[in-house]
Homo-oligomer: A and B are copies of this chain.
Amino acid sequence: MLKKERQAYILHQVNLHNKVLSSSLCSEIDVSEDTIRRDLQELADEGKIIKVHGGALSHSFNHVHFPVNGVYSQNQKRAIAQKAIALIKNGMFVLTSGGTTIIEMARSLPPQLKATFISGSIPAVLEYMHHPNIEVILVGDKISKSSKITVGSEAIAKIKQVKADICFLGTNAIDAQQGITDNDWEVVQLKKAMIESSKKVVCLSIAEKINTIQPIQVCALTEIDALITELNPGNPALQPYVEAGIEVL
């Protein structure tokens, strides 16, 4: 990895997460801590970031000591993202929906990961695009402005053409009886196609969406292979899903 490339990655991470730990950086990119520190120093000298003990901060969030809680449930989503990333191996074909949890996952993907990501979500694709080693396939069709993803028969047809290794679904509502449900008919159609086209279906959901129901069903619990939340897998709230035969992470 080139030095400039590394610094671009660091800068990207800082702007995204508003902070960055040099320890985590040096394990993500595989270099010594000294190198990271020197990079941070250079970026700080250029005024791009603010160097602090243990890492660096984004410039914008310097003046106002904004609580990290600025984005809705970002910490929980980040925890989910970390668990999800562990499932992605080099060379995989990965199908993803949209949603803030998926975005958080996209932002946290390690730079050395080589994989192919397929999605119709504009924000997700924007994130994938920034990663050096990821191939991005964009599913085209009419854009739904509310959900910022492509919807329609063309998109569904394209998704049905692929057979992905794994599929990550951002979830609006999940319930032990009703399975996954959502409130946008077109998005539901798309998610159904994604589930069909994947060997393994992984559902990402923050705890507060567990045991909630939306009007339209995406799929039953039986079609899900794994469920990832920010909770400990042993948490009693997750027991119904364990009993339903889902791998809870």
Contact = CB atoms under 8 A, between A and B. Distances in A.
Interface of A: 2-5, 8, 18-19, 21, 50, 52-55, 57, 61-62, 120, 122, 125-126, 128-129, 132, 135-143, 145, 148, 150, 154-155, 158
A61 B150 contact: no
Binding site secondary structure of chain A: mixed
Contacts of A53: 2-3
A145 B3 CA distance: 19
A-B residue pairs, 7 tightest by C-beta: A140-B140, A136-B143, A4-B52, A138-B140, A139-B140, A138-B150, A2-B54
Contacts of A142: 135-138
Given A19-B5, A55-B2, A129 B143 contact: yes
Copies per complex?
2
Contacts of A148: 129
Nearest to A149: B138
A129 B122 contact: yes
Nearest to A52: B4
A57 B5 contact: yes
Given A2-B55, A138-B138, 11 more contacts: A2-B19, A4-B57, A5-B19, A19-B132, A120-B138, A125-B143, A129-B143, A137-B143, A140-B140, A140-B154, A140-B158
Given A122-B126, A122-B129, A129-B143, A61 B137 contact: no
Contacts of A129: 122, 143, 145, 148
B3 A52 contact: yes
B132 A143 contact: no
A134 to B, nearest CB: 9
